[in-house]
């Protein structure tokens, strides 16, 4: 395929199909321009919580599912690890649907012989596991923040200013939220040490990053609601987080309508947390 980037492995998660905040068109663009031997769907692909409250489903959400199934049919090994928002799929662990494997967690072996535990990670979130009512309340508050974010950026656009994520700013500035994210990463890293693996790839927390936590590699692939990021493994084993909005120069204040046809060529110009 012309203008298609080939990777050994791709991780995406927190797509939240079934919500208005889902950037399905941008994800479709990413899937059209990338190929891989392995594709991990690390949870919260479909937002069952939101769908139960209010039905929202448009053609682009169907298109994402069809594209994932098509990749599986054409030879990509696709592994689906359900998260807390699509937990209804967890009882089907070990089964296949349209060539897509459903698993609770997976041990991934990189090209340079590293062992990475891949899981969604909500079991290490005390709020999700012990206070489901509080998790549901937080989920509603998050969706309200996304709605406010759209109106806020509509005003910024009228003023000639670029997109700015209000919800991300709040999460980064609130002391308790910062401590919560760091505590979550610490708990995940402790599980990796317990299993004596080299690192962990997870989601649940919407914060894309790659970092070493002492002797453990912690990788979070981001989401397709705000950051629109993916984690990729190159054929030599290097891990990299791709910021697709920057690579494709997409304005998130628009409807994320992107050219479905490959352009002449492109090379990554912006990468978050590349690990050699």
- Report pLDDT for 145: 60
- Percent of the chain having pLDDT more than 90? 53
Q: Which two tokens stand for residue 207?
A: 């914060």
In this predicted structure, what is the pLDDT of residue 41?
98
Q: Which of 25-29, 118-122, 127-131 has the highest mean pLDDT?
A: 25-29
Name which of 97, 19, 5 is nearest 54 in CA terms.
19
pLDDT beyond 80 at 154: no
The whole-number pLDDT of residue 186 equals 83
Tell me the pLDDT band of 201, cut-offs 50, 70 and 90. Answer: very high
Asked if pLDDT for residue 226 goes beyond 70, the answer is: yes
pLDDT band at 265 (very low <50, low <70, confident <90, very high): very low
What average pLDDT score do residues 158-185 get?
Answer: 60
pLDDT number for residue 270? 38
Q: Give the residue, 167 or 51, on which the prediction is more confident.
A: 51
Q: Which domains does the chain have, with CATH numbers?
A: 5-275 (3.60.21.10)
Average pLDDT over residues 210-237: 93
Asked if residues 248 and 23 have their Cβ atoms less than 8 Å apart, the reply is no
Higher confidence at residue 68 or residue 20? 68
pLDDT band at 263 (very low <50, low <70, confident <90, very high): very low
Residue 275 has pLDDT above 60, yes or no: no
3-state SS, the chain, equals CCCCEEEEEEEECCCCECCCCCCHHHHHHHHHHEEEEEEEECCCCECHHHHHHCCCCCHHHHHHHHHHHHHHHCCCEEEECCCCCCHHHHHHCCCEECCEEECCCEEEECCCCCEEEECCCHHHCHHHHHCHHHHHHHHHHHHHHHHHHHHHHHHHHHCCCCCCCHHHHHHHHCHHHHHHHHHHHHHHHHHHHHCCCCEEEECCCCCCEEEEECCEEEEECCCCCCCCEEEEECCCCCEEEEEHHHHCCCCCCCCCCCCCCCCCCCCCCCEEEEEC
Average of per-residue pLDDT across 232-255: 86
Of the ranges 8-12, 37-41, 178-182, which one carries the lowest mean pLDDT score?
Answer: 178-182
**Residue 242: closest CA among 29, 16, 20, 81:** 29
CA distance 21 to 14: 11
Mean pLDDT for the stretch of residues 250-269 = 48
What pLDDT score does 276 carry?
A: 37
- CB-based contact 64:15 (threshold 8 Å): yes
The β-bridge partners of 211 are 218
Q: How far is CA 40 from the centre of its chain?
A: 10
pLDDT at 68: 97
pLDDT digits (tens, 9 = 90+) for 96-112: 999 999 999 999 999 99
pLDDT, mean of residues 129-150: 52
Say what the pLDDT of residue 125 is. 55
pLDDT band at residue 257 using 50, 70 and 90 as cut-offs: low
Taking residue 136's Cβ as centre, other Cβ atoms within 10 Å add up to 13
Chain center to CA of 241: 11
What's the confidence (pLDDT) of residue 16? 94
CA distances from 113 to 220, 227, 231, 236 (A): 20, 29, 18, 10
Short-list 13, 49, 63, CA closest to 228? 13
């Amino acid at each position: 395929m012309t203008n298609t980037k080939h990777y050994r492995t791709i991780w995406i998660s927190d797509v939240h199909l079934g919500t208005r905040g889902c950037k399905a068109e941008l994800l479709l663009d990413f899937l059209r321009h990338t190929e891989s031997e392995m594709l991990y769907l690390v949870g919260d692909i479909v937002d069952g919580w939101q769908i139960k409250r209010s039905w929202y489903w448009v053609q682009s959400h169907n298109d994402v599912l069809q594209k994932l199934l098509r990749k599986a049919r054409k030879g990509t090994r696709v592994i689906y690890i359900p998260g807390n928002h699509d937990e209804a799929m967890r009882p089907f662990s070990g089964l296949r649907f349209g060539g897509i494997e459903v698993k609770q967690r997976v041990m991934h072996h990189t090209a340079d012989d590293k062992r990475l535990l891949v899981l969604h990670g909500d079991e290490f979130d005390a709020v999700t596991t012990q206070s489901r009512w509080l998790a549901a309340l937080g989920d509603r508050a998050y969706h309200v923040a996304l709605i406010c974010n759209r109106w806020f950026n509509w005003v910024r656009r009228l003023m000639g200013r670029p997109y700015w994520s209000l919800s991300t700013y709040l999460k980064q500035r609130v002391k308790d939220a910062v401590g919560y994210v760091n505590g979550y990463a610490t708990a995940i890293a402790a599980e990796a040490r317990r299993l004596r693996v080299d690192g962990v790839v997870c989601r649940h927390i919407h914060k894309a990053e790659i970092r070493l936590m002492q002797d453990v590699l912690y990788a979070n692939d981001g989401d397709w609601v705000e950051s629109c990021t993916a984690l990729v493994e190159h054929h030599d084993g290097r891990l990299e987080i791709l910021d697709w909005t920057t690579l494709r120069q997409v304005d998130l204040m628009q409807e994320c309508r992107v050219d479905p046809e490959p352009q002449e060529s492109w090379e990554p110009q912006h990468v978050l947390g590349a690990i050699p």
